[in-house]
Amino acid sequence: MTTYRDLVEGCEVVVCCGTGGVGKTTTAAATAMAAAAMGRRAAVVTIDPAKRLADALGISELGNDPTVIDGPWSGTLAALMLDTKATFDDVVRHHATSDEQAETILANRFYKNISTSLSGTQDYMAVEKLAELHSSGDWDLVVVDTPPTRDALAFLEAPKLLTRLLDNTIYKILISPSQGVLRAVNRAAGSVVRQLSRVVGAEVVDDAIEFFQSFQGMEEGFRERADATLTLLGADATAFVLVASPRADTIVEAKYFLDRLGKADLDAAAVIVNRVLPALSVDLSRAQQMAGSHPGGGTQALADHAAAAVGDDDRIADLLSSAPEATVVRVPLLPSDVHDIDTLHHIATLLTD
């Protein structure tokens, strides 16, 4: 059976996924730190980290390149906070056939919507950043935190985001205004465009048409990149790590996640269950009995603890039945929030020992 240590030692890419509020960013950072402790060159891409964690990692200033963090590890640890817009701009510049083409696209309002507020863009750029760092050859391991989405596939479909828009038939009609065979189609399209203008306003439609027209010549590059990225996500050296907590609602979400991952023929290589209450030797009824016969703060705390933990083991077992091959690590509920290098180091140790 592989351990999480093996995974941290052997993988080139780790994708931490799961719902919000379960310690995903912390797990991602601790995983990279554990790799650095093994002498590897590890970079972690965080998405919207809590401010104090970002401060601790030295990445509070928005920078879109990894910042090296000094610490007691033999390898290299670096972190960055994903800047979605800046990453997207870089991608456009990279694929553009001329500076002029890049600038036209960057100034377009439809593009600005795509690169800032479209749902899925953050996932898309996280994958782009991951692929960029992986292919740079500077890192042995790239760990990426994912945006809080319900659907694992949102992340996997992210690289196809733009190509899917480009495959749209309406788009094809929009960019080929007057070619013979399409003239009839275009009359129909024209009526759609007119109606659409009445709904969303003419300038919105104009912006979209301008965007698609100025995009010509770049599709192929984007398509190839999307394919390459999907191959990387499916590679043997890539591990999906599902982060969860024993709470009933998060277990439901985590199972849904595994199910969706399975639909894409992917497995979670590891399941990290955070915030697990420490195990007791007594059960709930004995704890309540003790609280009754020996009233006091200590026995009351024990009874509450036992009551809160009821079902944790069953729920975790239920989750794991959906991922029988996965390596499992339980991380206990900690007495404080994680916002310094020492606590992060403690978690890195818990994950890999």
CA–CA distances in Å: residue 124 to residues 22, 130, 181, 205, 230: 22, 10, 36, 24, 11
Among positions 130-149, residues that touch other proteins (CB under 8 A) are 147-149
Site residues for other proteins, 85-104, by CB under 8 A, read none
What is the closest distance, in whole angstroms, from the C-beta atom of residue 21 to other proteins in the complex? 2
- Single residue of 299, 320, 345, 346 touching other proteins by CB under 8 A: 299
254 vs 112, 239, 278, 327, 351, CA distance in Å? 33, 16, 21, 15, 19
Residues between 47 and 76 that touch other proteins (CB under 8 A)? 50-52
According to CB under 8 A, which one of 55, 65, 100, 203 is a site residue for other proteins? Answer: 203
The reply on whether position 297 binds other proteins by CB under 8 A is: yes
19 forms part of the interface with other proteins (CB under 8 A): yes
Residues 163-202 within binding reach of other proteins (CB under 8 A): 164-165, 168-171, 192, 195-202
Which range of residues in 4-12, 62-70, 132-140, 279-287 is near other proteins by CB under 8 A?
Answer: 279-287
d(CA 21, CA 273) in angstroms, rounded, equals: 12
Nearer to other proteins, 69 or 287 (CB): 287
To other proteins, the closest distance from the beta carbon of 126 in angstroms equals 13
Q: How far is the CB of 74 from other proteins (least distance, A)?
A: 31
Taking the mean position of all CA atoms in its chain, how far away is CA 103?
A: 29
Number of residues that bind other proteins (CB under 8 A): 72
Contact stretch for other proteins (CB under 8 A) within 66-74, 98-106, 113-121, 135-143: 113-121
Quote the least distance from Cβ 308 to other proteins, whole Å. Answer: 5
CA separation for the pair 268, 273 (Å, rounded) = 13
Tell me the CA distances in angstroms from 334 to 252, 325, 344, one per residue in order: 23, 27, 11
Work out which of 70, 249, 265, 342 binds other proteins, going by CB under 8 A: 249
* Closest by Cα among 9, 11, 29, 48 to 272: 29
Q: At what angle do helices 84-95 and 121-136 cross, to 10 degrees?
A: 60
Strand order in the sheet with 67-69: 67-69, 76-81, 41-46, 141-145, 13-17, 238-244, 268-276, 327-332
| Nearer to other proteins among residue 174 and residue 241 (C-beta) | 174
Kindly tell me the number of DSSP H helices and DSSP E strands found in the chain: 18, 8
Residue 16 pairs in a beta bridge with 145, 241
Q: How far is the CB of 286 from other proteins (least distance, A)?
A: 8
The least distance separating other proteins from the CB of residue 192, rounded to whole angstroms, comes to: 6
Instruction: Evaluate whether 73 touches 36 at the Cβ level (below 8 Å).
Output: yes
Which one of 55, 68, 138, 150 is in contact with other proteins (CB under 8 A)? 150
**Residue 298 touches other proteins, criterion: CB under 8 A:** yes
